[in-house]
């Protein structure tokens, strides 16, 4: 597939979300496997890696810095700041002072003097977005960051931010079973020349066929707290997964490859960053970038899996309050 761009720099349409190597979905891969996965990803053509300072409370950035020492010139590197975790306390701080402190800490862990893209992980409602973007613009001038990104924010917030400084990327969850970006953000990104970066493009493993028995998920798997995986909603959602997997089989691709192709078909300004702790899954996600989803298959997915057919919201009420994205009524 033809490369796409972030901040004018070409990247492959499928990048690597690195969170699963440090946190989120139960047991972590052994350190040697994680290091091998990162290097194998670069070897086969991945050139866009996405991390954040909170993934494993710095572990993920350290892992990338150590595993890919000497290969920094081979990939576009993105990280994030803004979410603060202190014990059981979780908050958001995108004040200028915090932004400056966090980039220096991230650069140290990543063993580099710059990142190509620096995101605000969430909107800080106590700080005007213009003030936060202004602070990030100073880091661009200093060469510590190549460009500015936003994560889980609305089209209105994007426009306000872009009035201060060009916004290179907006990162939000997007897959056939999470459609909120279609309300306004996808169009706003296209209008402003902002790349849309889709995280969880295989629906947190669901549309990769990787989740069937929710009860078997580890106690520390974040999906356990998500409404779509509870006893009330999961049976209906599993039925949709079965239909989706059957469609993938019809087209000779894996369910993950079908979901990724669907996401990328939604616009030339979209890139996807599936994450995994499995080398085999990482290779699978990248293996069919030569395949374009037929229009009839995309239409069948749209009819099959959408905001009306998926049971339950993507987040519970507490988590949803930290998100600035538009919601379906």
Q: How many other CB atoms are found less than 10 A from the CB of residue 167?
A: 29
* Beta carbons of 16 and 275 less than 8 angstroms apart: yes
Catalytic residue status for 119: no
Q: Which residues of 98-109 are buried (b: 16+ CB within 10 A; e: fewer)?
A: bbbebbeebbeb
Say whether 146 sits in a helix, a strand or coil: coil
Q: What are the angstrom distances between the C-alpha of 110 and each of 25, 65, 78, 202, 209?
A: 23, 4, 11, 27, 33
Q: Do the Cβ atoms of 78 and 48 come closer than 8 Å?
A: yes
CA pair distance 158, 132, nearest whole angstrom: 12
| Phi, then psi, of 195 in degrees rounded to 5 | -75, 135
Which of 25, 55, 119, 174 does the annotation list as catalytic?
55
d(CA 48, CA 271): 10
CA distance 149 to 165: 10
How many other C-beta atoms can be found within 10 angstroms of the C-beta atom of residue 276? 26
Place of tokens 């140290």: 108
Q: How many secondary structure helices (H) and strands (E) does the chain include? A: 11, 12
Q: Is the dihedral of CA 173, 85, 102, 18 positive or negative?
A: negative
User: Which residues are identified as catalytic?
Assistant: 55
């Amino acid at each position: 597939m033809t490369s796409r761009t972030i901040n004018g720099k070409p990247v492959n349409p499928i990048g690597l979300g690195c969170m699963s190597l440090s946190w989120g979905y139960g047991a972590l891969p052994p350190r040697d496997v994680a290091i091998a996965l990162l290097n194998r990803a670069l070897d086969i053509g991945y050139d866009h890696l996405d991390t954040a300072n909170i993934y494993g409370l710095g572990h993920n950035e350290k892992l990338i810095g150590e595993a890919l020492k000497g290969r920094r010139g081979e990939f576009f590197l993105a990280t994030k700041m803004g979410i603060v975790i202190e014990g059981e306390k979780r908050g958001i701080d995108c004040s200028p002072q915090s932004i400056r402190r966090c980039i220096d800490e991230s650069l140290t862990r990543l063993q580099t003097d710059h990142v190509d893209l620096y995101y605000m992980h969430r909107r800080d409602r106590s700080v005007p977005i213009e003030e936060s973007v202004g602070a990030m613009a100073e880091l661009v001038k200093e060469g510590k960051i190549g460009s500015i990104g936003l994560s889980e924010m609305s089209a209105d917030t994007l426009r306000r931010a872009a009035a201060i400084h060009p916004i290179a990327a907006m990162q939000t969850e997007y897959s056939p079973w999470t459609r909120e970006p279609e309300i306004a953000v996808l169009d706003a990104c296209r209008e402003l020349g902002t790349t849309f970066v889709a995280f969880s493009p295989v629906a947190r493993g669901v549309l990769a066929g990787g989740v069937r028995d929710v009860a078997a998920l580890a106690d520390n798997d974040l999906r356990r707290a998500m409404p779509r995986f509870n006893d009330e909603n999961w049976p209906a959602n599993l039925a949709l997964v079965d239909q989706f997997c059957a469609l993938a089989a019809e087209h000779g691709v894996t369910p993950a490859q079908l979901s990724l192709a669907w996401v990328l078909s939604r616009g030339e300004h979209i890139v996807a960053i599936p994450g995994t702790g499995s080398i085999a899954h990482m290779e699978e996600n990248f293996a069919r970038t030569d395949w374009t989803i037929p229009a009839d298959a995309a239409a069948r997915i749209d009819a099959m899996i959408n905001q009306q057919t998926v049971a339950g919201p993507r987040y519970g009420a507490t988590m949803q309050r930290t998100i600035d994205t538009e919601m379906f009524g």
